[in-house]
């Protein structure tokens, strides 16, 4: 893990109007992060759970900088989370300094007597392959679940991910819940994985409390190597789940079928449920205005692949190549007439892409390479 540059001192203020809104004060442009909707966010959970949510908001807001000293205008509970986070990266725990003008935080009370429908599980839903696989799997097993999407967790693609998540919920006949963030942080790129999945999971757990959920599901396949980021590290999740239990929130479970195999599982579920699942996947890293030009290459060189792939897939980014590789390898019925020439072009082009865009290596799994090599050897 590369050396981390630490800032010495930062100041973070909690809004007196929104108990889940914080501003990270800087010399240039202030950075902020808040839960905007639902307006009743935080109801039906303990004060300790609300405090833990504020700790995660602060952590996700400032963790790109790893400040040594953090001044706050509110009492930061559960600093044990920050301590564990820092220790994972080989750093000393931050010093928390109380601003003299402290905000007194009141517990958010349940202002409605309306009983909400109960669900066993909440699926943290991005609209991508893995979250759609989980939801379809629950449906095939007749499990009662709710799809929850956190909008603007990522700086890019928020609208498309939210639209895909809602469309998938309708197609599966699942209730849909959306948590709207105002994300003015600078937590982007690989650094966001220091806290992202835990922040996501906690938001879904708190929002799902009104529906009595017992489990929250996110992408699985956590790692045991400490070089992984904190929110990808299996022992860190054991610690985090224990923390959730102490504040009365449901624990988080990771579930997926492991990279390319997930495509195979979705192909099976598509047949079993008789729902056109693959076309619903929000799968592309490319901006929508770039799609037409990028797709022209595939429409010319691999017309059958292009014709049988959704128009919102560029075909060239990692996510799109993952889908195409899985569909070819695991014999998607829509590709049953695919020529060997198109398969060869896709395979050779992907090897060239791996070489030309070596900066993507951190995103390429051994699983992806193994499937690609096997496909090449099947010629």
What is the model's pLDDT at position 379? 67
Q: Give 351-358 contacts, CB < 8 A, sequence gap 24+.
A: 351/376, 353/316, 353/321
Mean pLDDT along residues 202-226: 89
Q: Helical H runs in 173-317?
A: 196-208, 234-246, 260-273, 291-301, 303-307
For 302-326, the pLDDT digits (tens) are 999 999 999 989 999 999 999 999 9
pLDDT at 210 over 90: no
Question: Where do the domains of the chain lie?
Answer: 9-98, 121-254, 283-377
What six digits make up the tokens of 379? 């010629």
pLDDT of 111 above 70: no
Indicate the pTM of the whole model.
0.90
Per-residue model confidence (pLDDT) at position 326: 97
| Angle of the 318-329 helix axis to the 340-356 helix axis, nearest 10 | 150
Tell me the mean pLDDT in the region 143-150: 94
Q: What is the mean pLDDT of residues 291-298?
A: 90
Question: Which class is domain 121-254?
Answer: alpha beta
Phi, psi angle pair for 198, to nearest 5°? -70, -40
The half-sphere exposure of 108 on its side-chain side, counting CA atoms within 13 A, is 21
Average pLDDT taken over every residue of the chain:
91
Confidence label for 291 from pLDDT (cuts 50, 70 and 90): confident
Q: What is the mean pLDDT of residues 262-269?
A: 96
| Residue of 280, 265, 357 lying closest to 316 (CA atoms) | 357
Whether pLDDT at 358 is above 90: no
pLDDT at 361 over 80: no
Q: Please give the average per-residue pLDDT across 273-302, as a whole number.
A: 89
Mean pLDDT of 199-218: 93
Per-residue pLDDT at 288 exceeds 70:
yes
Quick one: how many helices (H) and strands (E) in the chain?
12, 10
- For residue 357, what pLDDT is reported? 81
């Amino acid at each position: 893990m590369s050396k981390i540059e630490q800032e010495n001192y930062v100041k973070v203020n909690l809004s007196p109007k929104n108990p889940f809104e914080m501003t990270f004060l800087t010399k240039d442009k202030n950075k902020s992060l808040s839960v905007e909707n639902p307006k009743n966010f935080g109801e039906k959970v303990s004060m300790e759970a609300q405090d833990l949510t504020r700790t995660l908001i602060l952590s996700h807001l400032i963790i790109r900088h790893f400040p040594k000293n953090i001044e706050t205008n509110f009492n930061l509970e559960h600093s044990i989370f920050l301590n564990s986070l820092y220790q994972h990266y080989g750093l000393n725990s931050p010093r928390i300094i109380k601003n003299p003008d402290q905000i007194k935080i009141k517990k958010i009370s349940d202002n409605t007597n309306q009983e909400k429908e109960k669900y066993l599980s909440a699926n943290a839903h991005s609209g991508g392959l893995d979250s759609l696989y989980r939801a379809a799997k629950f449906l095939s097993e007749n499990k009662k679940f709710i799809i929850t999407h956190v909008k603007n967790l990522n700086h890019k693609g928020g609208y498309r991910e939210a639209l895909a998540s809602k469309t998938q919920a309708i197609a599966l006949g699942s209730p849909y819940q959306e948590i709207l963030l105002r994300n003015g942080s600078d937590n982007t790129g690989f650094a966001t994985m220091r806290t992202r999945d835990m922040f996501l999971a906690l938001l879904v757990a708190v929002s799902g409390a009104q529906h009595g959920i017992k489990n929250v599901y996110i992408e699985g396949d956590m790692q045991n190597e400490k070089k992984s980021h904190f929110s990808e590290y299996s022992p860190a999740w054991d610690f985090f789940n224990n923390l959730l239990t102490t504040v009365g929130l449901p624990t988080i479970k990771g579930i997926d079928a492991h990279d390319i195999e997930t495509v195979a599982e979705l192909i099976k579920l598509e047949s079993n449920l008789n729902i056109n699942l693959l076309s619903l996947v929000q799968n592309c890293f490319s901006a929508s205005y770039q799609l037409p030009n990028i797709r022209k290459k595939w429409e010319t060189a691999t017309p059958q692949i292009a014709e049988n792939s959704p128009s919102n897939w560029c075909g060239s980014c990692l996510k799109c190549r993952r889908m195409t590789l899985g569909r070819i390898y695991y014999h998607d019925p829509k590709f049953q007439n695919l020529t060997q020439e198109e398969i060869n072009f896709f395979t050779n082009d992907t090897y060239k892409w791996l070489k030309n865009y070596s900066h993507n290596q951190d995103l390429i799994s051994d699983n992806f390479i193994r499937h690609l090599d096997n496909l090449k050897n099947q010629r």
